[in-house]
Amino acid sequence: MRGALLHAVGDDRLDIRDDLTLAPTGPTDVRVKIRATGVCHSDLSVISGVLPMPLPVIPGHEGAGEVVEVGDHVTSVQPGDHVIVNWTPACGSCANCLVNQPFLCMTYVMDSFVNARFRYGGDTPAFGMAGCGTWSEEIVVPWQGAVKVDSDVPFEAAALIGCGITTGVGAALNTAKVRAGSTVAVVGAGGIGLSVIQGARISGATTILAIDPLESKHTLAKKVGATHAITPDQLMDAVGTLTGGVGFDYGFEAVGKSAAIMTAWQATRRGGDTIVVGAGAMDDTVPLNAFSLLFEGKNILSSLYGGSDVRRDFPFLAGLYKAGKLDLESMISSRIKLADLNDAVAALRGGEVLRQIVVLD
């Protein structure tokens, strides 16, 4: 089958090849034919080495498709079902799962570093990003990694729910629990930031400020729910105009940079919540001082995968989409083919695109 392979961190181009094969489907596994997969900044972080993965690796973790085979012990899905790929499958029995934090489960994440489910060039092993590798025509995942969704949800929309939408909307609904009538600032108007904005809108926030240095992104931010949009240098004026100088109840960071976290912190009022959503680098230190951490009374919250239980949230978000309350079509910059992935990665590096969706036949 076809797929895109990264041989080494920092490679200029992915190796798009047609000789990939899969490991056999185990008794608790599901084999999925990928029908749509997103080109996400986290994929770019794997290519650049910001997010460490074993090599060689097939990127891609935001996907949806059709079940083609299930193991003998699988009862949650059957061949023909439409599913969304869950890149953090929950084992159900670890310490995090037992306290209802399945998004922190590391069981299958750790397994993905030692279990190479792909082969190429005959019998050379290759890994899938986060155990997935959706930049290929088919994948094999644990049964918890394939969540059934109604068949009338388009695969492109379902793929977005698989990561970007769940991460951003979940940050607003699950992690911050944005209150109706509150004020929200979102740093970064890419795919994750726009999803946070939609979550804030759904929550009933009355003032939603999008902050992004690219003014070209401001129009779309307003289309999906932002009431105002500015560049970072305009923040202090916006704090004065929109909050009377107090600051916003919630400040979301959706970039993955310490500078963006500090912008969100600066935008947040005393006693408010600053929520870190972007995936940053291990050596990117946030310069907060101990005095501010105590006396400003702000809370710093991390939101991994939107604090979601995807068994609940994937169908819930799909329902919002079908009800017209979640705008997913506007999030898609373009629909491309698997052969276009190198161009798509280059466009993502440029910063102007939102979600490019690879559509597979």
pLDDT at 353: 80
The residues pairing with 148 across neighbouring beta strands, listed in sequence order, are 83
227: Cβ contacts below 8 Å, ≥ 6 apart: 206, 207, 208, 209
pLDDT at 349: 86
Please choose, from the candidates 248, 240, 244, 279, the residue with its C-alpha nearest in 3D space to the C-alpha of residue 261.
279
pLDDT at 124: 96
Around Cβ 309, how many Cβ atoms within 10 Å?
18
> How many angstroms separate the CA atoms of 119 and 83, rounded?
24
Sort strands 3-5 and 268-276 into parallel, antiparallel or unpaired: unpaired
pLDDT at 350: 82
pLDDT at 334: 94
pLDDT at 122: 87
Backbone φ and ψ of 132, nearest 5°: -105, -80
Residues of the chain below pLDDT 50: none
| Predicted TM-score of the model (pTM) | 0.94
pLDDT at 86: 97
Radius of gyration of the chain (CA): 20
335: Cβ contacts below 8 Å, ≥ 6 apart: 156, 356, 357, 358, 359
What domains lie within the chain, and their CATH numbers? 3-164+307-359 (3.90.180.10), 177-302 (3.40.50.720)
pLDDT at 68: 98
pLDDT at 348: 87
Angle between helices 258-267 and 235-243 (to 10 degrees): 30
Helix (H, G, I), strand (E, B) or coil at 312: helix
Q: Are 147 and 175 in contact (CB under 8 A)?
A: no
